């Protein structure tokens, strides 16, 4: 089964993340298929605008931790190497995925992300590479792995939120709903879930009425302003740091905990703050909580 679907609807190209049985979680193949779908949309002369969405219950739950965090052998196991680890081997793997996600940013045709359910962890990386985001009020977005075992490799949080609110999200690993994301300026608009499809389609139809060359020029100008602020260098650091988070003592303890009790329990302990990853033991409470 294709992990990413592409179809055309008049002047709108529709790309759908298609692993609904695992909440559209990211494995080794999904990023490649996503970039291929973006290329297909850009190669189609009839397409003026792209809408990116997720099938099933949500947009994307991030990296498939059953595949990566629990893995004891095989491809998924490569997310955590044996020590001593090779940072550049890790960087090559993760930067490849970062560049696949950034195909949305590089797309000559505007991309609108339609978020229902959740766009978390690596799923938020994908969403934040899009030009505009429309969320359901009750949808959630955030990057919980900043608590342990992750750094957002596309590094788009600071460019979309500014430094203080980006730090607020990345220091806590919290998620926010669509209404708060709109209030903070992270997303273009938040609407009730039953209006999401109509809102995105209306916006896409409006954009689709503009000639492709005009859309391309405006996108290149706006993107250049962000890139001139050092986006490439920031992503390079973020991608290196992402590897370090997984190979630090705390990152290795998280991996071992996921192998021991399963990734769902390890993630729950991470997000609730009930596990001391430095000491590798459960804790009953967190000071100041």
Domains identified in the chain, total number: 1
- Reported as a single tens digit per residue, the pLDDT across 93-122 is 999 999 999 999 999 999 999 999 999 999
Query: Which CATH number fits the domain that encloses residue 23?
Result: 3.90.226.10
288 part of a folded domain: no
Which residues are CB-neighbours of 129 under 8 A, at least 6 positions away? 101, 102, 103, 104, 105, 111, 154, 156
pTM of this prediction? 0.94
Average pLDDT score over the chain = 94
Q: Rg (Cα) of the chain, in Å, rounded? A: 19
pLDDT, residue 67, reads 78
pLDDT, residue 72, reads 52
- Say which range, 11-15, 16-20, 63-67, 171-175, has the weakest mean pLDDT: 63-67
Better pLDDT: 289 or 66: 66
- Reported as a single tens digit per residue, the pLDDT across 115-168 is 999 999 999 999 999 999 999 999 999 999 999 999 999 999 999 999 999 999
289 part of a folded domain: no
223 part of a folded domain: yes
Q: Note down the domain range covering 259.
A: 4-282
Average the pLDDT over 191-220 and give the result. Answer: 98
- End-to-end CA separation in angstroms for the chain: 45
Residue 174, Cβ density class (10 Å: 0-12 exposed, 13-18 middle, ≥19 buried): middle
CA-closest candidate to residue 30, choices 56, 3, 64: 3
287 part of a folded domain: no
With a pLDDT cut of 70, the percent of the chain lying above it is 94
Helices 87-101 and 231-247, interaxial angle, to 10°?
130
Query: What's the rounded Cα separation, in Å, for the pair 259 and 66?
Result: 9
241 part of a folded domain: yes
Query: What's the rounded Cα separation, in Å, for the pair 181 and 273?
Result: 23
Query: What's the rounded Cα separation, in Å, for the pair 272 and 191?
Result: 28
277 part of a folded domain: yes
């Amino acid at each position: 089964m294709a992990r990413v679907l592409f179809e055309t609807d008049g002047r709108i190209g529709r790309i759908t993340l298609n692993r609904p049985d695992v909440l559209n979680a990211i494995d080794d193949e999904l990023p490649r298929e996503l970039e291929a779908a973006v290329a297909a949309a850009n190669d189609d002369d009839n397409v003026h605008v792209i809408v990116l969405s997720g099938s099933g219950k949500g947009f994307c739950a991030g990296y498939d931790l059953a595949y990566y965090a629990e893995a004891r052998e095989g491809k998924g196991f490569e997310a955590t190497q044996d020590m001593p680890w090779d940072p550049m081997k890790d960087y090559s793997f993760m930067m490849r995925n970062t560049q696949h996600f950034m195909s949305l940013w590089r797309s000559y045709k505007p991309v609108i992300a339609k978020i229902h359910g959740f766009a978390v962890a690596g799923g938020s990386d994908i969403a934040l590479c899009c030009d505009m985001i429309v969320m359901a009020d009750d949808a959630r977005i955030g990057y919980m792995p900043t608590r342990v075992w992750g750094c957002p490799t596309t590094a788009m949080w600071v460019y979309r939120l500014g430094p203080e609110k980006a730090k607020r999200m990345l220091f806590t690993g919290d998620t926010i709903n669509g209404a708060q994301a709109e209030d903070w300026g992270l997303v273009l608009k938040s609407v009730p879930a039953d209006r999401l499809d109509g809102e995105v389609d209306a916006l896409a139809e409006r954009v689709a009425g503009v000639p492709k060359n005009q859309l391309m020029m405006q996108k290149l100008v706006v993107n250049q302003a962000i890139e001139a602020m050092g986006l490439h260098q920031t992503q390079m650091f973020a991608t290196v740091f992402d590897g370090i988070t997984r190979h630090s003592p705390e990152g290795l303890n998280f991996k071992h905990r996921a192998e021991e009790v399963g990734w769902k329990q390890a993630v729950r302990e991470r997000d609730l703050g009930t596990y001391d990853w430095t000491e590798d033991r459960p804790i009953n409470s967190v000071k100041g909580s």
